[in-house]
Amino acid sequence: MSSRFFRKPSVHFWLLGCLLFAFDRWYNVPEDIRVIEYPDDAQVSELRQQWMMTTGRAPSAADTAQMVQYELDQRILLNEALRFNLHFYDTVVQQRLLRDMRFMGDTEGQTDAQLLEQAYAMELHVNDTVAKRRLMQAMESIYRAPGENQVPAEAELKAVYDGRIKEFTLPETRKISHVFVSRDRHREKAEGQARELYERFSRDEVALEKARLSTDPFLSGLDFSHLSVRQLSRHFGDTFSREVFNCKEKPWCGPIESPYGWHLVWVHEQKPAKPQTFEAVQQKLVYYVKREKGDKALNDRMTELRDIYQVSGGPEQESEKQ
């Protein structure tokens, strides 16, 4: 190409346009700059105090970072709420501001509209803790809505059902009978007697009906039908129940101790854990799917917003200044 080509104004125009286009694409200057303040030392200290009051221990560096990020997210939400002018439409916020105005001074003769105008001018909506919290919550609800308002398809529900099958599974159960040796009756001899019985029952293969003749009375009865470990523990305590469920011997387990004495346990039947049907838990599944979609919608939007917002006054900026 001749040098005359490159001296043409149109070529210059075209080259400049390409440069500008490239600059715009690579630098990505936002249309509006959104800024939030990093919590100052006093605010971070307050967060740490709150943590200690509720957990009883000092927060680690990771805990503090998490709290600060949460605080920043809350400030983003507040800012977004103000950008959407929610403070002008939310009735809870308005009621709160009216209450503040009436508390602060003589408002006789002034209408609600006049009071609100003054409240907004004084920026009460960003200084009142309850109003701020309401605005943040309202904004969260708005960002959740696209996810929560979708009606889940059956395939989705089935996928969640499969993924959460453990939660919907009814625990394994045991059907047992027992022969009881009472500590109250036999005192220090109770354990020895229980062991003797166990050896005799096992050696002579004594059937349950015959073995019952050797039992001490037990108020809750001798037969327990299809109980989970938690249900069994109601009658005999946790240690006993765990031992019964762990017992591999047949037909007699034991002697197993409870707060009442010693027990020789006959396990009739062992039912494995079984999941509830899809239909039985369908309503719960709908709730889970909607909640998860709502959470995702909110998280996605917060991720976008974190990229958009600039944080001023943070520790990185402080160290840069230094």
CB 302 within 8 A of CB 73: yes
Q: Which is nearer to other proteins, 231 or 282 (CB)?
A: 231
Q: Which is nearer to other proteins, 156 or 216 (CB)?
A: 216
> What is the nearest approach in angstroms of other proteins to the Cβ of residue 208?
12
Kindly provide the residue ranges of all beta strands, DSSP E only, lying in the chain, ordered along the sequence: 34-37, 169-170, 173-182, 223-227, 252-258, 261-271, 274-275, 309-312
Q: Which is nearer to other proteins, 183 or 301 (CB)?
A: 183
> What is the nearest approach in angstroms of other proteins to the Cβ of residue 175?
9
* Total residue count of the chain as it appears in this document: 322
> What is the nearest approach in angstroms of other proteins to the Cβ of residue 132?
10
Q: Which is nearer to other proteins, 80 or 128 (CB)?
A: 128
What string of DSSP letters covers 91-114?
HHHHHHHHHHHHHHS--TT--HHH
Residues 6+ apart with CB under 8 A from 177: 208, 212, 222, 223, 224, 265, 266, 268
Q: How many CB atoms lie within 10 A of CB 21?
A: 10
Q: Which is nearer to other proteins, 32 or 184 (CB)?
A: 184
> What is the nearest approach in angstroms of other proteins to the Cβ of residue 293?
21
Q: Which is nearer to other proteins, 171 or 313 (CB)?
A: 171
CB 59 within 8 A of CB 19: no
> What is the nearest approach in angstroms of other proteins to the Cβ of residue 316?
26
What string of DSSP letters covers 194-263?
HHHHHHHHHHTT--HHHHGGGPPP-TT-SEEEEE-HHHHHHHH-HHHHHHHHH---SSEEEEEEETTEEE
Q: Which is nearer to other proteins, 50 or 149 (CB)?
A: 50
Q: Which is nearer to other proteins, 277 or 317 (CB)?
A: 277
> What is the nearest approach in angstroms of other proteins to the Cβ of residue 129?
5
Residue ranges that bind other proteins, judged by CB under 8 A: 50, 53-54, 91-92, 94-95, 99, 129-130, 133, 170-171, 173, 182-184, 212, 215-222, 224-228, 230-231, 233-238, 258-261, 271, 276, 280
What secondary structure letter does DSSP report for 152?
P
To the nearest 10°, report the CA torsion of 119, 121, 124, 127.
180
> What is the nearest approach in angstroms of other proteins to the Cβ of residue 93?
9
User: Cα(252)–Cα(195) distance, rounded to whole angstroms?
Assistant: 12
User: Cα(144)–Cα(103) distance, rounded to whole angstroms?
Assistant: 35
What are the CA-CA distances from residue 132 to residues 102, 122, 125, 138, 203 (Å)? 19, 14, 7, 10, 76
> What is the nearest approach in angstroms of other proteins to the Cβ of residue 146?
23
Q: Which is nearer to other proteins, 79 or 258 (CB)?
A: 258
> What is the nearest approach in angstroms of other proteins to the Cβ of residue 167?
13
User: Cα(49)–Cα(56) distance, rounded to whole angstroms?
Assistant: 10
Element (H, E) at 88: none
